[in-house]
Amino acid sequence: MTDSAEGPTQSKYVAYSDELESIPPDEDELIDDIVKALRENNERSFRRHQHATRDAHAKSHGILRGELTVDSDLPEHLRQGLFATPATYPVIARLSVTAGVIRSDQVHGVRAMAIKVLGVSGPRAQKDDHRSQDFIMVDSSTFPFANVRKYAENMGFASRLAKTPDPVLKATNIVLRGIAVALKPFRLKLPERVALFARPNNHVLGETYHSAAPLRYGDYVAKISVAPLSESVTNLRGKRIARGTGYDALTKAVADFFEKNSAEYEVRAQLCTDPAVMPIEDATKEWPEILSPHQRVAKLTFPAQKVNSPARRVYGDDTLSFNSWNGLAAHRPLGGINRLKIKVYNASSEYRHWMNNVEPTEPTDISELPD
């Protein structure tokens, strides 16, 4: 695999350096305030369900067993970190909605795919003895808030959203969708945090998922994405989930698909070529593909399977944790939104496991995933 004659060359890729990050002096204090606010969401959810859930990605649509196969013909600039050597790794993936509240699948929102690659060796991003690499991705190429301060300023909006009943959100989705369509001829858009809820409610298996915020890619810096590859899932691109198909419509759609079908996705890296245009500290900025296209580095394969058995759901929702900081130093998350995540995800995981009286474990073998 090589770049096109008109595409970026290896010399144009930005070399990784600690200096690429710029940490505001009040960031730690802001993060602590956010962690406290999200704990209140955890506690409110526990009172409602008498069971602790994640403060984001609360509802899963399926827990998948699969494999990640690193491509064997990668050029040097793509042979980095996990992708440095051709290999096949077992994978556990969790499909979810990013909301911290369990809602009807008829409510539009941001969907997510979390991937845990097992049997990964190398220096770690955190001081742990794990041998896994997590990637947490959403079906949006950007994050709605640029940095920790902007996230903190919008905590009130997030809190009100968490308390909004499903019927109100469903109606709001329909109205926002109509407004978004009406604005298109004028080349106008809704604000990003609102536009996320105006998107059509599509089948989760046909979506493309993005890291949204950047991470280290060995000697370079990149965003990671996962896109449908096999016909079985490319056929689901843009397929709407019909209104009135039930509270768990997406969950059922995923389960029904994997009863008889397999799925393949390609894993891609988009390397940074200009930090002024492809910033590290502003997660709202789209990285232009004209400056750096997505380049395939591996393939994800999920065979037919039962993705929502009771034992598997309990394992995926209560026992497992996914954290973008659980991984290799070669893929250390970058930027303020990722610095926020390390504390937020750890605090959420600790609360969830403690309240549910479940011992947190990091899997070392795919056999630990129940059928």
pLDDT tens, 150-164?
999 887 766 777 777
Q: What is the pLDDT of residue 190?
A: 72
**In the numeric block, which tokens belong to residue 215?**
């991470």
269, 217 Cβ separation under 8 angstroms: yes
**In the numeric block, which tokens belong to residue 347?**
């605090």
All structural domains of the chain, each given as residue ranges with its CATH number in brackets, are 28-142+201-368 (2.40.180.10)
Residue 332 Ramachandran class (φ > 0 left, ψ -120 to 50 alpha, else beta): beta
Q: How distant, in Å, are the alpha carbons of 1, 101, 370 from that of 356?
A: 47, 17, 19
Q: What is the pLDDT of residue 188?
A: 75
**In the numeric block, which tokens belong to residue 268?**
């891609």
Q: What is the pLDDT of residue 271?
A: 98
- Give the whole-angstrom CA distance, residue 135 versus residue 225: 9
- Give the whole-angstrom CA distance, residue 193 versus residue 142: 11
For 230-271, write each residue's pLDDT tens digit: 999 999 999 998 888 889 999 999 999 999 999 999 999 999
Going by pLDDT thresholds of 50, 70 and 90, the confidence category of residue 101 is: confident
Q: At what angle do helices 27-49 and 336-355 cross, to 10 degrees?
A: 30
Q: What is the DSSP letter of 204?
A: G
* Pairing, β 215-217 against β 220-228: antiparallel
> Which phi and psi angles does 259 have, rounded to 5°?
-60, -35
Q: What is residue 338's three-state secondary structure?
A: helix
- For all residues of the chain together, what is the average pLDDT? 90
Going by pLDDT thresholds of 50, 70 and 90, the confidence category of residue 292 is: very high
Q: What is the pLDDT of residue 3?
A: 45
For 303-318, write each residue's pLDDT tens digit: 999 999 999 999 999 9
* Amino acid in position 258: F
> Which phi and psi angles does 31 have, rounded to 5°?
-65, -40
Q: What is the pLDDT of residue 312?
A: 95
- Give the whole-angstrom CA distance, residue 270 versus residue 273: 9
Q: How distant, in Å, are the alpha carbons of 96, 102, 157 from that of 164?
A: 19, 12, 11
Q: Which residue has the tokens 């691109």?
A: 237
Q: How distant, in Å, are the alpha carbons of 59, 179, 197 from that of 98?
A: 8, 23, 12
Q: What is the DSSP letter of 357?
A: T
- Give the whole-angstrom CA distance, residue 322 versus residue 356: 17
Q: What is residue 335's three-state secondary structure?
A: coil
326, 361 Cβ separation under 8 angstroms: no
pTM (2 d.p.): 0.92
122, 85 Cβ separation under 8 angstroms: no
- Give the whole-angstrom CA distance, residue 190 versus residue 128: 42
70, 285 Cβ separation under 8 angstroms: no
Q: What is the pLDDT of residue 237?
A: 96
**In the numeric block, which tokens belong to residue 335?**
């930027």
> Which phi and psi angles does 63 have, rounded to 5°?
-115, 120
Helices (H), the chain: 27-49, 148-153, 155-163, 166-183, 192-195, 231-234, 249-260, 310-314, 336-355
254, 313 Cβ separation under 8 angstroms: no
